[in-house]
Structures are given as C-alpha cells and as structure tokens.
C-alpha cells in the first residue's frame, strides 16, 4: 500500500512527531497503531471513554497525510442504503421517460414479444450501471483513487446487522453490489480505516478479530499538560498546571461522568475568557458546569471544592 | 521466531485472552514488520493485534513481561564463565530479548545443544588437557551466559516443559532438562577426571562440578518460571470448573472472591449471547406507514413492502429472595448474577425477606455488590422464615406493578415452619405475570418432606427448578433471557 505521503508513515517516531505538529499529543501506542494499520492494511478499532480524542485521531491522521476524511456516523437503524449505496431512482425514472420516444426506433422491425425482448436485452442493464448509483460513505471510500481516511464513528451505536455488513469491507476492502458485482479498493491505496466505540455494548468478536485494537485511556498529568499546552497555547503555565491537577483529582472522585480531555480544553478556554490568573474556589464553582455535565456530580464536587482547589494550588506553587 | 510466538500465544490463551489463529497470523506478520530489536515497540504492536479489550490488555502486559524475560538474577560467586560474566551481565537488559530469537535459529540449525553430548564424549587419557571434552562441559566453561540460556531453553522445549501441570513435576522436569542438555556426558567426564587424578584434572573436575550445580540451580529457576507461566492458569481453570459445579451452600467465605469472578465471567458470556435485540416479524401484516415512507423515493410506487415487526422486549424481572440462613448463599449468587447482567436485564427489581419483605433494588444499584449483600443480610437476614407473611406483603405493595411482561423469580426452600402458606397469592401471581419461576436449592426428593410447602406452591408456578450450583443458576438465567419473545 502506498500513499502519496508515505514518508510520513515511515516509522513510529515520525508519526508521533507529525501528529504533534498538528497539535495531537499522544503516547507511543497511538503512533504504533497508526504505523501498523498502514503497513498491515488493517483497520483500527479505537475504544476509550468519551472525549479522549478518538475521533480526533482519525481526523488528524487525515490532515497529516493530506487525504480526505470520509466520515460515517453510526446510529440505530443505519442500513446499507445509507452506508454503502443507493440507486438514483429519480434519475432512472426520468431517463425512462425521455427514452420512451426512442423505444420505437429500437424495436423497429421486431416481430412479436420474444423478439422485442431479445432486442432489448442487447442493451444490457444500463439502468443498473454505475451511472445510476449513488455512492454512500463506504463505497465512496473504496472508490477514492488516491486513498483516503475512512472514519466509522461510534460503531457501538449501530445495530448488530450493520456490524456484519462491515465485515467484508474491513477484511478485504471490497463491497458486493448484486446488480454490478464486487467493487474493490485500489490495491495500492487502500483506505485507512478508523472505527471508534464508546463501549456502550460489546463489539462482536468477528469485527474485533479483523481490527487492531487501540485503547486510549485518560492521560496522566504530564501528558494532559502537554495537550492543554498544544491546544490552548495562550494559557499561562501556572494556571495550566493548577487546572490539570484539579481535573486529575476529579477523575479520582466517584462521579457519574468524569471530565475528559475535551472538557479540560473547554475549561482552559473559559478561564482565558474570564482573564483568570489563578484558580480559586469561587471561580471554580462558577465554571464547574463546563467540566461537569450532571447536577449530581456538581453537587458532589461542590462539597469538596475548597480542599481540592487548595490541593491544586499547593502542588503547583 | 514463529515457534516462540506460537508458544507465547499458548500462554496468552491460558491467561484467558482469546486469540484466534487468524490473529496469530496477524501477529506473525506484525513481527516481521516490527522486528524484535525494540522491546517496547514490539510489546505495543503485539498488544494491538492480540489483546482486544482493556482487561485483556492488562493480562497481555503481564504475560508479555513474564514470557519474554529470561532469568536475570546476578548469581553471587558465579565462576562458571568468569570472562564473559562482566560483559554478559551488562548487556543483558537488551540481550535477554534477543536470546529468544536466536534460540530459534540455533534450533533450526539442527539440535546440537542437547543429547549429542552423551554420545560424543571420548576422553583421551594419553594427552592430558585441561579443557573439558563433553558438550555440556565446554558450554559451561567457555560458553557465554546467553548461550547457556539458549541451550537450556532448547532442552526445555525438547522435553516439553510447557506441559507442566502440577508443582510436583518440577523436579522431574529439572532432571529431564539437565539430561537433555547432556548431563550424563558431563557426569562421566567428572568421574573420569577425578579417577585419573592429576592436579590439573582435579582442578577442572572441581570447576565443572561447581558449574554443574549452578546450572542445576538455574534450570530449577527456569522450570519454576515455566510452571507459573503455564500451570498456574491451568490450575485456576480447573478450580473454576469445580466451583461451578460445587453446591453453593457448601462454599466457604474464602471462595467467595473466586466465585464472584466466575459469576462475572458467566454473566459476560450470557451478555454477549443475548445482547442482540431480536425482532419478530408478524407475517402478513403490512406496516402501512413504513411502506409509504420507504417508497416515497420511488414516486409512491409500492415495490418495497415493509412488514410489521415488533422488538422483543427485555424481560422485566422481579426477584424475591429468601435470605434466611439456610438459603442465603443461593440468594447471594442469584442476585450477583442478575445484577451482573444489567446490560441485558436493565429492569430488575429485587426483594429480600425472611419474614418481612423489603425491596433492595436501590441498594444494589447504588452500592457495591459486596456491601449491598452484607446490608441486605443484616437488615432482612434474621428471623424465621414466613412465606405467608412475605406473600401477603408482596400482594399489598408490589402486586399492582406486576404485568404480563413481568417474570417473577422466587428463590427459597419453601420451608414455612408450618405456617399459613397463602398459596392463593402465588396463584394470583401466576395469573398476572408472564412467568413465575421457583428456584429451590433442595433436591426434589425433599420438596415435600417436613415443613416444605413446595407441593402447594409448585402447581402455581410455570416452572420449578432445583438450583444449587452456579451451573444451575446459569441455566436458569440463560433460559430467562431466551424465553422472552
């Protein structure tokens, strides 16, 4: 498999660097996964809690390689007519109407029904050719000559049937359309496939078997500081350290939904808007709704707000 | 390298990481690509290919560390290969890993490591020399540590040390490995040397003896490690199989943790089997709305008909558990089971009683299983059993919520201390609920003996089952999930 930017995938360090340049800070495992996915021609199944940058990884890789990112958002009831292809019925109908006139000429001289039908057969199934096919994301991704990044987002939200539908695509990079035949990806430039899952249900073994499995956990403090630095460079170092410590503290608490990286970044932006220089309990209380999304959680944290804030301040003096 | 990988996969499987042959092939491809120079890189890569969920990743990490590490301990006063020792020890951190790979190559080159030593030894008396002649002797005096390790592992493979099952086999395998490495040749040489006692010979024989003992020590270590790698998990599996079949009432407290693990595992299996929500199609009933909507794209021409289908509902379960002394263990595990199935059984209401009935649903949803169990036992576990009272309570407080989608599971021995059985309430349940299942931990023969009221209750239940081990529990719960339609 060769992509036009193959050099950017030559080894793990280069990949990690490339991602970092685009402000995606990740550990070595993430870079290794991208490296293997490209060289072994396998899709990556990314799991992890929400907001750790699963979707972002696919988008960043696409940007890094300068490829189009084709995204398929999964939901309950997603089926092949929305994921793979659909016939352009309107166009088919219109063309039949237009061609009605010429039908006489074609059938000219044919005697009887059998002969007419035989004559019609000579024209083949023009109405079921690629001209009349409306490609949906999966088919589109296969047909990209220059390769692409295909992102199948939140696969766990789709039905079981859809998972099975994906298997052919994921193992052989091909799709079968009954009327036309099998469509294969360009052998040299297969799409780079990312699947993400929030683990609301178990993904079937058949699907897992065909994928590399990458688990992205919450980052540790050092990594999170780097991420905030990369994403919100205008934040002061002192404040950054304080808020990261604060967030890390929260993750240890018993909350319904712990804040993820995306929340940390939102919070950093909020604090900048408010011209904050240092955390204090009042300010945290007012902005708590940026990082916590459940009233119960907010109440739990408010009780211990003072001590957690003090801890964050103390550790980063 | 292939064989090493296959061995590794075997280890992973014993550690309950599901690795299919296809994944093994992937891993081989991956190894070709990655090489084995960089340990961390290889670990990350293999983790991506072989371990497919967070728990497996953890187990994988463990296995990888144990499998791909040779014996590192610095042996005090090791004189066996004095020159190499200092160098060997330093580079060992990186070197140990390569050892795995090289061993394979030497294996392909024709097993020169082992048994030949015994046959080839010829001790030439006429020309006294201070170099050992047996293969093993040579290896011990001149070979590097890495070479010795390789030879040891070769021998280990030959005698199939990975098949070790119980710890009593340790000695046997140690000896087998030593034999395969050519111990006999060495022994003969040593005895020859001591018999023809020049000072030079004696010196050499002393050295050989010493290094032989050291080697034995190392082989023993190696076998020990292999035992932990291969047998520990097999033993665990054996134990788990046993736990599944043992009577729950005879379990002791120290087993609870193991049992809990087994229950979770069984629950997980059930979840993956039943997590697919089925639909049943009502044949012949046209779904007009869906058909209209679906055929809009064809200009309202009906050629893609949609039939009515209804989603199969998840069962609504009400679980009434006797938590008095005699049956409390069963209730514990039934509840454990039901709550581990939250993903496929979202609506479980549970009640506990020995005489008064109390709802414990909230308790189980909000606190940890162990704690919830303990509190249930404390609050409801005392007092003598009174089924009549329990049923009356149920009728007063809960009966209104029972509808034709509800499955009621009653777990208890139906021993009512000769009180009023109130079986008419069970009859009422029978009429209102979808299913009433009675689980009785006692064997069927004693269902009517003494104060047991099973005879009165049984006709009012859709199903009565003996249930006294995890296997029974699993079957009941599985049927429960299956019967919904």
Out of B10-19, B255-264, B395-404, pick the least confident: B255-264
Residues B401, B459: one domain?
yes
The answer, as to whether pTM is greater than 0.90, is no
Residue-level pLDDT at A214: 92
Residues B177, B105: one domain?
yes
Question: Could you read off the pLDDT of B22-54 as tens digits, one per residue?
Answer: 899 989 988 888 887 888 888 889 999 998 888
Question: Could you read off the pLDDT of A216-263 as tens digits, one per residue?
Answer: 989 888 889 988 988 888 888 888 888 899 899 888 888 888 898 989
Residue-level pLDDT at A70: 93
**Contacts with B20 from chain A: Cβ below 8 Å:** 209
Tokens 């994906």 map to which residue?
A: A166
Contact assignment for B33 to A40 by CB distance below 8 Å: yes
Q: Is residue A35 situated within a structural domain?
A: yes
Provide the domain count of chain A.
3
Chain B contact present for A47, CB below 8 A: yes
CATH number of the domain bearing residue A71:
3.40.50.300
Of the residues B188, B214, B240, which one is the last residue of a structural domain?
B240
B117 CA: distance to closest CA in chain A (Å): 44
Q: Is residue B12 situated within a structural domain?
A: no
Residue-level pLDDT at A304: 85
Residues B340, B451: one domain?
yes
Q: How far is CA B473 from the centre of its chain?
A: 19
Q: Is residue B444 situated within a structural domain?
A: yes
Q: Kindly report the three-state secondary structure assignment for every residue of chain A.
A: CCCCCHHHHCCHHHHHHHHHHCCCCCCHHHHHHHHHHHHHCCCEEEECCCCCCHHHHHHHHHHHHCCCEEEEECCCCCCHHHHCEEECHHHHHHHHHHHHHHHHHHCCCCCHHHHHHHHHHCCCCHHHCHHHEEECHHHHHHHCCCCCEEEEECHHHCCHHHHHHHHHHHHHCEEEECCCEEEECCCCCCCEEEEEECCCCCCCHHHHHCCEEEECCCCCHHHHHHHHHHHCCCCCHHHHHHHHHHHHHHHHCCCCCCCCHHHHHHHHHHHHHCCCCCCCHHHHHHHHHHHCCCHHHHHHHHHCHHHHHHHHHHHCC
Residue A222 burial (C-beta neighbours within 10 Å; 0-12, 13-18, 19+)? exposed
Residues A77, A63: one domain?
yes
Residue-level pLDDT at A151: 94
Out of B34-38, B63-67, B128-132, B234-238, pick the least confident: B128-132
ipTM over cut 0.85: no
Alpha carbon distance B64, A250 (integer Å) = 32
Residues B468, B411: one domain?
yes
Residue-level pLDDT at B308: 82
pLDDT greater at residue B451 or residue B197: B451
Question: Could you read off the pLDDT of A274-291 as tens digits, one per residue?
Answer: 888 888 888 888 888 888
Say whether pLDDT at A308 is over 90.
Answer: no
Q: Is residue A254 situated within a structural domain?
A: yes
Q: Is residue B44 situated within a structural domain?
A: no
Residue-level pLDDT at B100: 41
Q: Is residue B13 situated within a structural domain?
A: no
Domain that holds residue B292: 279-311
Residues A24, A168: one domain?
yes
Residues A77, A183: one domain?
yes
CB A40, CB A207: distance < 8 Å: no
Rounded percentage of chain B residues whose pLDDT exceeds 90: 0
Question: Could you read off the pLDDT of A36-89 as tens digits, one per residue?
Answer: 998 888 999 999 888 888 999 999 999 998 889 999 999 888 888 888 888 888
Residues A208, A193: one domain?
yes
Phi first, then psi, for residue B448 (nearest 5°) are -115, 5
Q: Is residue A197 situated within a structural domain?
A: yes
Confidence of residue B1 (pLDDT cuts 50, 70, 90): low
Domain that holds residue A96: 85-131
Residue-level pLDDT at B130: 64
In this complex, the residue of A32, A209, A214 whose CB is nearest that of residue B22 is: A209
Mean pLDDT of B330-346: 75
Confidence of residue B323 (pLDDT cuts 50, 70, 90): confident
Q: Is residue A114 situated within a structural domain?
A: yes
Of the residues A168, A190, A215, which one is the last residue of a structural domain?
A215
Residues B292, B353: one domain?
no
Q: Is residue A1 situated within a structural domain?
A: no
**Contacts with B343 from chain A: Cβ below 8 Å:** 201
Alpha carbon distance B49, B29 (integer Å) = 10
B365 CA: distance to closest CA in chain A (Å): 13
Mean pLDDT of A203-207: 86
Residues A159, A124: one domain?
no
A153 CA: distance to closest CA in chain B (Å): 18
Say whether pLDDT at A137 is over 50.
Answer: yes
Residues B148, B196: one domain?
yes
Residues A61, A146: one domain?
yes
Residues B294, B338: one domain?
no
Residues A304, A191: one domain?
no
Residues A210, A92: one domain?
no
Contact assignment for A215 to B276 by CB distance below 8 Å: no
Residues B283, B180: one domain?
no
Q: Is residue B389 situated within a structural domain?
A: yes
Residue-level pLDDT at B233: 66
What are residue A46's DSSP bridge partners?
A196, A214
Contact assignment for B40 to A39 by CB distance below 8 Å: no
Confidence of residue B76 (pLDDT cuts 50, 70, 90): very low
Nearest by Cα to A142 from A134, A133, A150: A150
Question: Could you read off the pLDDT of B277-299 as tens digits, one per residue?
Answer: 666 666 678 888 888 888 887 77
Confidence of residue B210 (pLDDT cuts 50, 70, 90): confident
Top residue of A87, A209, A216, A296 to mutate, by most chain B CBs within 10 Å, is A209
Residue-level pLDDT at B421: 80
Chain B contact present for A91, CB below 8 A: no
Residue-level pLDDT at A201: 78
Confidence of residue B348 (pLDDT cuts 50, 70, 90): confident
**Contacts with B311 from chain A: Cβ below 8 Å:** none
In this complex, the residue of B41, B47, B297 whose CB is nearest that of residue A89 is: B297
Residues A119, A144: one domain?
no
Of the residues A168, A189, A215, which one is the last residue of a structural domain?
A215
Question: Could you read off the pLDDT of B146-174 as tens digits, one per residue?
Answer: 777 788 878 888 887 777 777 777 788 88
Q: Is residue A317 situated within a structural domain?
A: no
CB A229, CB A60: distance < 8 Å: no
A315 CA: distance to closest CA in chain B (Å): 31
Contact assignment for B297 to A93 by CB distance below 8 Å: no
Residues A126, A264: one domain?
no
In this complex, the residue of B48, B52, B54 whose CB is nearest that of residue A32 is: B48
Residues B195, B320: one domain?
no
Say whether pLDDT at B175 is over 50.
Answer: yes
CATH number of the domain bearing residue B465:
3.40.50.410
Chain B contact present for A164, CB below 8 A: no
Residues B158, B285: one domain?
no
Q: Is residue B42 situated within a structural domain?
A: no
Say whether pLDDT at B319 is over 50.
Answer: yes
Contact assignment for A47 to B299 by CB distance below 8 Å: no
Instruction: For chain B, give the mean pLDDT.
Output: 75
Residues A107, A151: one domain?
no
Say whether pLDDT at B87 is over 70.
Answer: no
Nearest by Cα to A28 from A39, A13, A7: A13
Contact assignment for A201 to B26 by CB distance below 8 Å: no
Residue-level pLDDT at B94: 40
Confidence of residue B90 (pLDDT cuts 50, 70, 90): very low
Residue-level pLDDT at B232: 66
pLDDT greater at residue B477 or residue B116: B477
Structure tokens at B21: 């042959």
Provide the domain count of chain B.
3
Q: Is residue B442 situated within a structural domain?
A: yes
Contact assignment for B52 to A208 by CB distance below 8 Å: yes
In this complex, the residue of B40, B44, B343 whose CB is nearest that of residue A201 is: B343
In this complex, the residue of A47, A160, A212 whose CB is nearest that of residue B49 is: A212
Residue-level pLDDT at B278: 65
Residues B399, B323: one domain?
yes
Structure tokens at B481: 């999930």
Of the residues A215, A242, A270, which one is the last residue of a structural domain?
A215
Out of B81-85, B230-234, B401-405, pick the least confident: B81-85
Q: Is residue B274 situated within a structural domain?
A: no
A209 CA: distance to closest CA in chain B (Å): 7
In this complex, the residue of A32, A47, A202 whose CB is nearest that of residue B45 is: A32
Top residue of A86, A201, A218 to mutate, by most chain B CBs within 10 Å, is A201
Mean pLDDT of B397-426: 84
| SS3 label, residue B20 | coil
Residues A116, A92: one domain?
yes
């Amino acid at each position: 498999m060769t992509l036009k930017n193959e050099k950017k995938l030559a080894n793990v360090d280069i990949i990690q660097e490339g991602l970092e340049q685009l402000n995606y800070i990740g550990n070595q495992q993430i870079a290794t996964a991208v490296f293997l996915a490209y060289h072994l021609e396998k899709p990556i199944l990314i799991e992890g809690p929400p907001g750790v940058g699963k979707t972002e990884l696919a988008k960043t890789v696409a940007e890094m390689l300068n490829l189009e990112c084709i995204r398929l958002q999964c939901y309950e009831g997603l089926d092949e007519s929305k994921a793979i292809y659909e016939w352009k019925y309107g166009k088919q109908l219109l063309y039949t109407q237009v061609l009605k006139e010429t039908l006489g000429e074609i059938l000219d001289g044919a005697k009887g029904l059998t002969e007419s039908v035989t004559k019609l057969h000579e024209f083949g199934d023009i109405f079921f050719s690629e001209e009349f096919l409306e490609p949906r994301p999966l088919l589109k991704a296969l047909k990209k000559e220059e390769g692409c990044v295909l992102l199948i987002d939140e696969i766990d939200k789709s039905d079981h049937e859809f998972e099975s539908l994906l298997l052919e695509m994921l193992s052989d990079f091909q799709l079968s359309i009954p009327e036309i035949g099998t469509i294969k990806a360009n052998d040299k430039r297969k799409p780079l496939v990312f699947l993400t899952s929030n683990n609301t249900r178990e993904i079937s073994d058949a699907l897992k078997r065909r994928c590399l499995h990458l688990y992205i956990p919450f980052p540790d403090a050092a990594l999170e500081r780097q991420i905030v630095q990369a994403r919100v460079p205008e934040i002061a170092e002192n404040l950054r350290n304080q808020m990261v410590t604060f967030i890390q503290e929260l993750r240890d608490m018993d909350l319904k939904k712990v804040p993820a990286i995306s929340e940390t970044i939102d919070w950093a932006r909020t604090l900048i808007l408010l011209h904050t220089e240092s955390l204090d309990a009042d300010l945290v209380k007012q902005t708590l709704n940026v990082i916590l999304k459940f009233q119960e959680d907010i109440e739990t944290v408010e009780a211990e707000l003072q001590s957690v804030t003090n801890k964050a301040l103390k550790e980063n003096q | 390298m292939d064989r090493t990988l296959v061995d590794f996969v075997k280890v992973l499987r014993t550690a309950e990481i599901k690795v299919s042959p296809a994944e093994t092939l992937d891993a081989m491809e991956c190894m070709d690509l990655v090489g084995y120079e960089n340990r961390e890189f290889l670990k990350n890569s293999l983790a991506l290919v072989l371990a497919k969920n967070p728990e497996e990743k953890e187990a994988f990490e463990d296995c990888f560390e144990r499998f791909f590490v040779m014996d590192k301990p610095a042996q005090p006063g090791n004189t066996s290969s004095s020159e190499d020792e200092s160098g060997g020890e330093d580079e060992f951190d990186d070197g140990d890993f390569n050892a795995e790979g090289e061993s394979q190559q030497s294996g392909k080159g024709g097993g020169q490591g082992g048994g030949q030593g015994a046959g080839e030894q010829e001790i030439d008396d006429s020309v006294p020399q201070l170099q050992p002649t047996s293969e093993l002797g040579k290896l011990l005096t001149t070979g590097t540590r890495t070479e010795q390790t390789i030879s040891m592992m070769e021998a280990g493979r030959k005698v199939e040390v990975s098949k070790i099952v119980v710890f009593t086999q340790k000695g046997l395998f140690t000896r087998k490995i030593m034999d395969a490495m050519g111990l006999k040749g060495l022994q003969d040489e040593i005895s020859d040397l001591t018999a023809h006692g020049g000072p030079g010979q004696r010196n050499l024989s002393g050295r050989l003896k010493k290094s032989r003992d050291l080697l034995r020590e190392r082989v023993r270590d190696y076998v020990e490690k292999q035992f932990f790698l291969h047998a520990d998990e097999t033993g665990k599996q054996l134990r788990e199989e046993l736990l599944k079949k043992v009577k729950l009432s005879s379990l002791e407290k120290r087993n609870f943790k193991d049992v809990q693990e087994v229950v979770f595992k069984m629950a997980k299996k059930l979840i993956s089997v039943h997590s697919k929500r089925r639909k049943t199609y009502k044949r012949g009933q046209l779904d007009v709305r869906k058909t209209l909507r679906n055929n809009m794209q064809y200009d309202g021409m009906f050629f893609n008909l949609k039939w009515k289908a209804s989603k199969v509902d998840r069962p609504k379960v009400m679980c009434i558990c006797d938590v008095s002394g005699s049956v409390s263990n069963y209730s514990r595990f039934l509840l454990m089971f039901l709550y581990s199935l939250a993903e496929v059984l979202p609506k479980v209401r549970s009640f506990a009683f020995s005489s008064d009935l109390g709802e414990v649903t909230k308790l189980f949803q909000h606190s940890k299983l162990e704690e919830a169990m303990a509190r249930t036992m404390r609050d409801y576990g005392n007092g003598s059993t009174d089924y009549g009272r329990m049923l009356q309570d149920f009728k007063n407080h809960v009966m209104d919520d029972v509808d034709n989608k509800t499955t009621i599971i009653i777990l208890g021995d139906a021993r009512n201390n000769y009180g009023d059985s109130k079986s008419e309430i069970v009859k009422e349940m029978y009429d209102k609920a979808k299913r009433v299942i009675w689980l009785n931990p006692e064997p069927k023969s004693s269902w009517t003996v003494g104060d047991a009221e099973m005879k009165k209750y049984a006709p009012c239940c859709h199903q009565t089952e003996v249930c006294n081990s995890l296997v029974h529990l699993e079957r009941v719960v599985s049927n429960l999930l299956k019967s919904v339609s």
